[in-house]
Amino acid sequence: MIPSVTPRALLIRTAFRLEWFTVAWMVVEAAVALASGVIARSISLIAFGVDSLIELVSACVLIWRLNVELRHGQCVAERAERAASRIGGALLFALAAYIVIAAGWRLWTRQGADFSWPGLLVSLAAIPIMWLLSRRKLQIAEALGSRALRTDAVESITCGWLSFVVLIGLLAQLALGAWWVDTATSLVIVWLLVKEGREAWQGEETDD
């Protein structure tokens, strides 16, 4: 007799599919943002790309965590998740510090960045993708009562706002052609990174 699939098992499968899609998109997003950022000498695009790499690691951790929970129970998975979350938070703080230093140097030396069409396209595409992913993750997280998936959904929301800030900065750069636009955009990104890093470091207070 073939065992029936429970509703919770179906929800977990959906969560896995969402995370694997997140991994695939973050690979593309990080590669395009980093490559275009290096070519254009853009602090904001490089920061966007590094943040995408951190999000990629976060999605991989969540996939692993769901597997561990299914095999060994929730307690073991949560301990590992807290450690991984703090590492991610520390990386976000380090990225924010890099942006502040690099932006300060750019302002001091009056160095600008070149406009990037690939950067514009990837940031434009990321906004609806992150919006749809975050909404679906929040729905599944609520149904499962999963703190980990809820936290990951919040990270997707932050990534969407980050994409929006980068997009606005690139459009302003295209319209104005001012050397300081990329630097100003990168400093706005710092606030988002610090917010995301603080949430990752502290973790959620509510239980599953």
What would the pLDDT profile of 149-185 be if each residue is shown by its tens digit?
A: 887 888 888 889 989 999 999 999 889 888 899 999 9
List Cα–Cα distances, 138 to 18, 96, 128, 135, 151, in angstroms: 11, 27, 15, 5, 9
Tallying the residues shown for the chain, one arrives at 208
Over the chain, what is the mean pLDDT?
84
Q: 93 near 50, Cβ under 8 Å? A: no
Greater confidence (127 vs 106) lies with 127
Determine whether 45 is exposed, middle or buried from the number of CB atoms within 10 Å of its CB (0-12, 13-18, 19+): buried
Share above pLDDT 90 across residues of the chain, in percent, rounded to a whole number:
36
- From the list 157, 153, 124, the residue with the least C-alpha distance to 140 is 153
pLDDT in tens, 8-58: 778 888 988 999 999 999 999 999 999 999 999 999 999 999 989 988 988
Give the CB-side neighbour count of residue 21, counting CA atoms within 13 A: 15
Domains defined along the chain, listed by start: 7-200 (1.20.1510)
